[in-house]
Chain A
Amino acid sequence: MATLIIDPLTRIEGHLKVVVMTNGSNVVTEAQMCGTLFRGFENILKGRAPRDASVITQRICGV
């Protein structure tokens, strides 16, 4: 049983951490992923003019 952690996972948009668990014969038994960035767009949008949402939410991902 071995655990492999890949952080940062590259060639993707954003921040991702991957944790892979393998058994004795190098077969993956479990895989977990974790986004390592939090911006809180929901909180930023609260209390704003509704039309502002089109400008703000398009900045969630620029790819």
Chain B
Amino acid sequence: MKDNVLLRVESLHKHYPVHDRFLFRRPQLVYAVDGVSLEINRGETFGLVGESGCGKSTLGRLILCLEEFTSGKIIFDDKVITEHNKVKLRELRREMQIVFQDPYSSLNPRKTAGDIVVEPFIVHHLGDRKERQRQVERLLKVVGLLPEHASRYPHEFSGGQRQRIGIARALALNPKFIILDEPVASLDVSIQAQVINLLKDLQNQYNLTYLFISHDLGVIKRISNRMGVMYLGRIVELGDSRVLFRDPQHPYTKALLSAIPQLIQAKKKKRILLEGDVPSPINLPSGCRFHTRCHYFVEKCKTVDPILEEVSPSHWVACHLHQG
């Protein structure tokens, strides 16, 4: 593995069985993550964007081994973590952390901010009482809160401040890698900007690597160095964020970008409106899974599933239009 690669995911699959009311019928499968491969470099932010149900959060949970995978391989820091046992996984969790979307439901309402931030130290038996106390104060300060906030309960904080507590908890054990799952989706725009700036500062300060999951392309554009676009369990386009935003290749990425409402109407480009809804991940369309909604589809798309290919250096697209 290349030195600068921190995380590598190789053709990862996660299929959930769904049981219906017919007891003896074979359960159907939801193809939540269906063959995803990607690499995340040390110190970078990889943005993962897609609409609800595309499997981006499942992918995040799989990487943290919070979810059993169906097949595939995850290599983190040169270790194949998909083969780890429970003890090793617990050790690994010190290096990988997650910040969830909803700061209202991911913080225990009965615990104070101090209790929440100190918990990782207790779980991993680190430090004595005094040392932990010192760490809590340090962490709260790092995320822009005050030491006296430690004795307050989550409901006494605003949404932005709660998300800061979630970030402080994730930072507690000096992780290398943090998954940010829609961390700013429930915040107002002015607060979003504050939290994004904080995340960028922390990344520089502690040399963190982020996997930033979001449905919001604007947020992804602001924070990510490279990005992947997911559709129905697959990555359909992957590359440098600036390149993807300037020159998207996959028809789905193009539609996504054109759907974003623009502030200045004079600069507006023609919108590509997709018809209908995303197909069910149980009955995936044959061939290319986007062909049912694609404006450019040709016969081949109905039968042959396109694979992710490099169309220009470090720019990968899964579309027949861009392949030989």
Does chain A bind chain B? no
- Which positions in A face B, CB cutoff 8 Å? none
